[in-house]
Amino acid sequence: MSAVWWQNEGETLILQLYCQPGARRDGIGGLHGERLKVCLGAPAIDGKANECLRRFLALEFAVARREVTLLSKERSREKQIAVHSPSRSCAGFTT
Note whether residue 7 is domain-resident: no
Would you say residue 2 lies in a domain? Answer: no
Instruction: Look at residue 49 and tell me if it is in a domain.
Output: yes
Asked whether residue 11 is assigned to any structural domain, the reply reads no
Residue 13 falls inside a structural domain: no
pLDDT recorded at residue 92: 63
**What is the CATH number for 52?**
3.30.1200.10
Whole-number Å distance between alpha carbons of 70 and 82: 7
| Sign, CA torsion 62/66/67/71 | positive
Count of domains in the chain? 1
Residue 90 resides in a domain:
no
**Residue 93 maps to a domain:** no
In a domain, 78, yes or no: yes
Give the model confidence (pLDDT) of 13-44 as tens digits: 999 999 999 999 999 999 999 999 999 999 99
| Confidence check: pLDDT of 82 > 50 | yes
CB atoms closer than 10 angstroms to residue 7: 13
Give the mean pLDDT of 5-15.
94
Q: Which domain holds residue 50?
A: 20-84
